[in-house]
Amino acid sequence: MLLENRLTLMQRIQDCAHHRYFLYIRGEIAQGDWPKFELKLAGLYETDLSKTTRSRRRRSGEAVALLYACKPAPYAEVNAPIRWVMMVTEGRGRVHGRENLSDIRNDRLQLEGYELVHDGCTWSWKMTKERFQYWRERIHAVAAKRPGVRATGQDHIGRFDPDIEKIMDSGLDSSPAHCFSIIV
């Protein structure tokens, strides 16, 4: 299933983890190759089954797979690849023999600066150390400027710092942190 954005992709992966889809494989594919790739995986691993069929198969001990991907961000390069993740349950199935699956309980699933973690109660997304350091350095660079050097602006609401506004805007464009319970 090709989703509109990374936030929705991360939500679907988090839902899969909650429903015990602990195994995964991920990758990237050219935008033009996506429809054929999606059909290929649907044919090989039945990634397009209905919810009731998946439930019935899981109860009988079969592995079930779900395929998710997201469109490149609007600000990405013109030919940016589509990032995809196939989440798989434990059980009998050809997917286990054909694919080199990783387990989210041992090998964290990372996606663009975030990793899926279990905090003892539930699954959630956490910034990687590198992503956290990136944001820390950007914020520190602006906050460390002397008051006379910092730019200020004025609008109908009041005074503001355009550098801080830029950081906040870029954080919303590239970070789903405001919609997740992030562990830092």
| 58-92 pLDDT, tens digit each | 999 999 999 999 988 877 788 899 999 999 999 99
Mean pLDDT rounded to a whole number for the chain: 88
Number of domains in the chain: 1
Show the domain range for 97. 2-111
Of 106-110, 126-130, 157-161, 179-183, the range with the lowest mean pLDDT is 179-183
The answer to the question of residue 144 being in a domain is no
Distance, in Å, from the CA atom of 109 to the CA atom of 116, rounded to the nearest integer, reads 6
pTM of the model: 0.80
Instruction: Compute how many other C-beta atoms are within 10 angstroms of the C-beta atom of residue 77.
Output: 8
Distance, in Å, from the CA atom of 116 to the CA atom of 112, rounded to the nearest integer, reads 11
> So what's the pLDDT on residue 37?
97
